[in-house]
Amino acid sequence: MAMATTTSTASPTSLASVTLEVADPEAARRFYTALGVDKRIRLRASEARSTGFRGFALALTVSRPATVDSFLGAAVDAGATVLKAAAKSLWGYGGVVQAPDGTIWKVATSTKKDTGPATREIDEMVLLLGVEDVKASKQFYVGQGMTVARSFGGKYAEFTSGESSPVKLALYKRRGLAKDLGVPADGTGSHRIILGSTTGPFTDPDGFAWESAPPLTPAPSTTSAQS
């Protein structure tokens, strides 16, 4: 008997850009310039109602602990709030901060010992979407033409990114992501983020909106992320 195929016929889709919706774009631009990620994101003015956890975080993977401390220190100096102080763990070293506009940022490295001084280099930037059902959301994105790079059951899934993409997309169970970030999982209202698609607009099962958008440049390196 012939086996059913699950191959998608949809046009390939990749994450071309990330647009953060903020109340004060100029203030946000100053913050993200100080953090060193202003060329990797877009900003858009919005007063959309949003309370609690917005269901996502942006993660920076860097080369060593000193660089983690450098990025987190720059964020705090520019007005960020520490959610999790940088510390060692089983997987490496990292910490979490919240920008003045409410966006949560995680900075981490899989290396526990410094092999040199801090740099301002970002190996990889990952958008972590907190979803209710990782398996269902993964299948939805596969149906949009995305390719799974790695997956860990119903807890985490990561997709390959296009050559010009400044950020990689990953799915994380919402409550698991909130716990990892050090915040309560509850939240209502707008996600305050718009994702740029290389194809047409759509909305995923958790309400994250995608719109057609050209990719941002320059693209980060393809070094594997530890999320």
Q: Which are the contacts of 109, defined by CB distance < 8 A and separation ≥ 6? A: 61, 62, 63, 64, 65, 67, 68, 92, 93, 94, 226
Question: What pTM, to 2 d.p., does this model score?
Answer: 0.89
Distances (CA, A) of 213 to 126, 189, 221: 18, 24, 21
**Residues 6 or more apart in contact with residue 14 via CB below 8 angstroms:** 146, 159, 160, 161, 162, 165, 197, 198
- 193, containing H or E segment: strand 193-197
Sole residue written with tokens 């040199």: 116
pLDDT at 217: 59
Rounded CA gap, 186 and 179, in Å? 11
pLDDT averaged per 10 residues, the chain (length 227) = 37 85 98 96 96 98 97 98 96 97 98 92 97 97 94 94 84 97 97 92 96 68 37
